[in-house]
Amino acid sequence: MILVTGGAGYIGAHAVLALLQNGHEVLVLDNLCNSSSASLERVTRLAGRRPQFVMGDVRSRPLLDKLFAAYPIDAVMHFAGLKAVGESVREPLRYFETNVSGSVTLCQAMAHAEVFTLVFSSSATVYGESETMPISESAALGLPTNPYGHSKLMAEHVMRSVAHSDPRWAIGLLRYFNPIGAHPSGLLGEAPKNIPNNLLPYLLQVALKQLPALRIYGDDYPTPDGTGIRDYLHVVDLAEGHLMALNRLRKQPGISTWNLGTGRGYSVLEVLKAFEKVVGKTMPVCVEPRRSGDIAQCWSDPSKAREELGWESKRDLNCMLEDAWRWQCLNPNGYGADAMAV
Ligand code: NAD
Ligand code: WQD
């Protein structure tokens, strides 16, 4: 059985579905601070099978000990964490407590239960502002520009030390680039509880007139059209990457790092243009100054994941945008009251 922390969230729910569809038994631990158990109802509908669910906190050692004693858990996927960059600047301690201390507590409970296989949600943010593109795993770890980024880097350091302390550990640090998109059924997707920070969720709400206009944060970057470039990745591809990492870790103990990205960057204006084509109308936009802490460009070299995991992204930008738009139209308020009936 796989314990999936944060399994009710955006990426976690897609991973739980992929695990169930591949025959795994799944136990989700989530405190629902940024999600709803409705996502797991949708997962159940899609998989034809229900994951076990415990509402609780990954920082609680007694709870974790109980779960490891009660269920035949043999590996963990650790998604639980806080991810809003701006909020992390205002509330750094909450971010370090959840993302770093939560990871420490989880590793302690795993060691106690002698469960040593762990897949961790890291982020390309650990590279900071990389000098060369594309970014491979051997690139220097940068200086993250905010407490969220630091918390991910610190969690990586914790796991690296833990893996070096005992050869039984098999830990995969998955450095995601920019996950977007939704399940093609329109049943699972990203459901921000507040005003979105990220480009695509924001754009989706502008398209439904839930927000007035997209603010483009800077058109004076040293990029071909002046707007920031990122490596957008379909969340279903990302979920599949987790399964492949898990398979590899079963055969290869130690600590491994894999970039999960497409290897291709798109600027804000390129995403906007592609999105307008999908939606069939132009979006209201305004150009604003650069957002503090943003970098000009960031895209992956995903060849290590291809060679070692046999993983590569299959879904292109158009597919990401179409799936995200379907999700938004069917669930204008996320998993809330007037979401499509399930
Ligand atoms: P999300 O907020 O949708 O999912 C995180 C889940 O963790 C939520 O369901 C939340 O309720 C749960 N959670 C938070 N604190 C918890 C706690 N103390 N105990 C138990 N559950 C808790 O976010 P997501 O986009 O699905 O991200 C999942 C992971 O991937 C996070 O660790 C995030 O930092 C990482 N990540 C996300 C992105 C991205 O752009 N979405 C990029 C790189 C890395
Ligand atoms: C993408 C591009 C913005 C919003 C963040 C975190 C990172 C990771 C993913 C978890 C940039 C521009 C955005 C808007 C805009 N999270 N933009 N108007 O900043 O690459 O990454 O989320 O690990 O750690 O920092 O993603 O989607 O916010 O921005 O112009 O309303 O879109 O400036 O160029 P980012 P994003």
What would the two tokens of residue 145 be?
Answer: 């520009």
Closest C-alpha among 67, 69, 65 to residue 53: 67
340 belongs to a structural domain: no
Residue 341 has pLDDT above 90, yes or no: no
216 lines ligand 2 (CB under 6 A): yes
Ligand 2 lined by 121 (C-beta under 6 Å)? no
In a domain, 338, yes or no: no
Helix (H, G, I), strand (E, B) or coil at 75: strand
d(CA 75, CA 69): 14
pLDDT band at 145 (very low <50, low <70, confident <90, very high): confident
* Ligand 1 centre distance from Cα of residue 179 (Å): 12
d(CA 27, CA 227): 41
Ligand 1 environment, Cβ below 6 A: 5-6, 8-12, 29-35, 57-59, 79-83, 98, 102, 121, 123, 176, 178-179
Does ligand 2 come within 6 angstroms of the Cβ of 197? yes
Q: CA nearest 95: which of 144, 162, 46? A: 144
Q: Does 337 reside within a domain?
A: no
* Whether residue 29 has its Cβ less than 6 Å from ligand 2: no
Asked if residue 311 is part of any domain, the answer here is yes
d(CA 66, CA 230): 41
Lowest mean pLDDT among 161-165, 186-190, 338-342: 338-342
Instruction: Give the number of other CB atoms < 10 A from CB of residue 223.
Output: 17
* Residue 99 CA to ligand 1 centre (angstroms): 9
d(CA 43, CA 234): 17
Q: Does residue 203 contact residue 209 with C-beta atoms inside 8 Å?
A: no
- Cα–Cα distance measured from residue 30 to residue 127, given in angstroms and rounded to the nearest whole number: 28
Indicate if ligand 2 lies below 6 Å from the C-beta of 291: yes
- Domain membership of residue 280 (yes or no) is yes
Q: Which bound ligand lies closest to the C-alpha atom of 16?
A: 1
| Residue 232 in this model has a pLDDT that exceeds 70 | yes
Determine contact, residues 16/4, Cβ cutoff 8 Å. yes
Mean pLDDT of 39-54: 98
Q: Between vectors from CA 151 to CA 189 and to CA 265, what angle results, nearest 5°?
A: 50
232 catalytic? Reply is no
Nearest CA to ligand 1 atom 6: 6
The model's confidence at residue 342, banded by pLDDT at 50, 70 and 90, is very low
Residue 336 lies in a domain: no
* Predicted pLDDT at 340: 57
For residue 336, name the pLDDT band (cuts at 50, 70, 90): confident
Total residues belonging to the chain: 342
**Active-site residue identified among 127, 148, 176, 266:** 148
Choosing from 122, 175, 268, 271 the residue with most ligand 2 atoms within 8 A of its CB, the one to mutate for a pocket test is 268
In terms of DSSP bridges, do strands 229-230 and 266-267 run parallel, antiparallel, or are they unpaired? antiparallel
Decide if 144 is inside a domain: yes
- Residues 248 and 171: their CA atoms lie apart, in Å, by 10
| % of the chain beyond a pLDDT of 70 | 98
Distance from the Cα of residue 243 to its chain's centroid:
14
Q: How many angstroms does the Cα of residue 330 sit away from the middle of ligand 1?
A: 23
- 335 within some domain: no
Gap from CA of 291 to ligand 2 centroid (Å)? 9
Summary mean pLDDT of the chain: 96
**Largest alpha-carbon pair distance within the chain?**
56
Q: What is the DSSP letter of 292?
A: T
Q: What are phi and psi of 11, to 5 degrees?
A: -80, -40
**Residue 117 bridge partners (DSSP):** 170
Q: 178, 205, 286, 288: which to mutate for ligand 2, most atoms within 8 A of CB?
A: 178
- Domains of the chain: total: 1
The pLDDT of residue 131 is above 70: yes
Cα of 217 vs centre of ligand 2, distance in Å, is 9
Alpha helices in the chain (DSSP H): 10-21, 38-47, 61-70, 85-90, 92-95, 102-113, 147-165, 199-207, 235-251, 268-279, 303-309, 317-330
Q: Which residue has the tokens 């007037």?
A: 338
Measuring CA to CA, which residue among 171, 149, 158, 16 is closest to residue 82?
Answer: 149
CATH code, 260: 3.40.50.720
Average pLDDT over residues 179-200: 96
Question: Does residue 119 sit in helix, strand or coil?
Answer: strand
Ligand 2 neighbourhood includes 215 CB (under 6 angstroms): yes
User: What's the confidence (pLDDT) of residue 143?
Assistant: 87
Q: Decide if pLDDT at 128 tops 80.
A: yes
Q: Which domain holds residue 230?
A: 2-330
Residue 241: is it exposed, middle or buried by C-beta count within 10 angstroms (0-12/13-18/19+)? buried
